[in-house]
Homo-oligomer: A and B are copies of this chain.
């Protein structure tokens, strides 16, 4: 029992994935990654979460921004800005090299899964990084200002409009890639980990892909989620704001409600220990540990705890 599947969104998911990758053999770890934020920009297919996971696993991520590469240069963007072109989405030169390589792979007829495998291999990332679908799925944020494409909401509008709901365009026609299904159905699957990513816009699009939620529910191995809410706040991004706007309790209890019926246990931070009983009312189990990952050691420590929790649940 050694294989693990982790479902990841962006930064938080990538950090836990980094920890898992340090502990597990590459062939034992499959990362299924949200592509609902993907978008076409300047003819490039930008995959923010796939790239955050890839860059983080390669040790190339920019720790200050939560996106893009460390030591980035801005030659292309400066020229775009100078000529009055679209420069609202911050694409560095190294990042553009990555996107151009993906463009060439996709144009050559590769699936997004195959293109991602090629991109991760080129950067020395060994575990399987698998998009949730090869087909395009686009997260639409329904707000009081109308429906907004994810990047419009997230980058242009800085998550300000009040959220009323979500749509995942194309999800009904999307298929979980065979590499993801095979990992979820592996007889030696030790467990599934839902990383501390935004439940609505990182996990939500993945769970909307036909087959993924069903595979998780049907899975005999334990399924745990790490709460992205710590002390009533999101460590990064709009998760807490969205929870409040949608009427969820902005706490680990609210997270437990969201994942009810899907997970066997919620991992919460020691700071939220007092809420453990309320969480356990919604879930069979609640594990308490430090979930804040400020450095590589803490990423590995949380990954080790998650693997231990999976072991405990299987026993």
Contact = CB atoms under 8 A, between A and B. Distances in A.
Contact of A73 (B41, B75, B84): B75
Given A44-B43, A85-B122, A79 B103 contact: no
Contacts of A182: none
A74 B92 CA distance: 12
Q: Interface size bucket, A side? A: 20 to 34
Interface string A83-126: 11110000011101110110110110000000000000011000
A103 B73 contact: no
Contacts of A74: 75
A178 interface: no
A40 interface: yes
Which of A84, A101, A107 gathers the greatest number of chain B CB atoms within 10 Å?
A: A101
Interface in A26-72: 40-44
Interface in A5-20: none
Contact of A85 (B42, B43, B85, B97): B97
A218 interface: no
Given A43-B43, A84-B122, A85-B122, A79 B93 contact: yes
Interface of A: 40-44, 73-80, 83-86, 92-94, 96-98, 100-101, 103-104, 106-107, 122-123
Given A80-B97, A85-B101, 4 more contacts: A43-B44, A76-B94, A76-B96, A79-B94
28 contacts: A40-B107, A41-B104, A42-B101, A42-B103, A43-B43, A43-B103, A44-B103, A73-B73, A73-B75, A75-B76, A75-B92, A75-B94, A75-B96, A75-B97, A76-B76, A76-B94, A76-B96, A76-B97, A76-B100, A78-B93, A79-B94, A79-B98, A80-B97, A80-B100, A84-B122, A85-B97, A93-B93, A96-B96
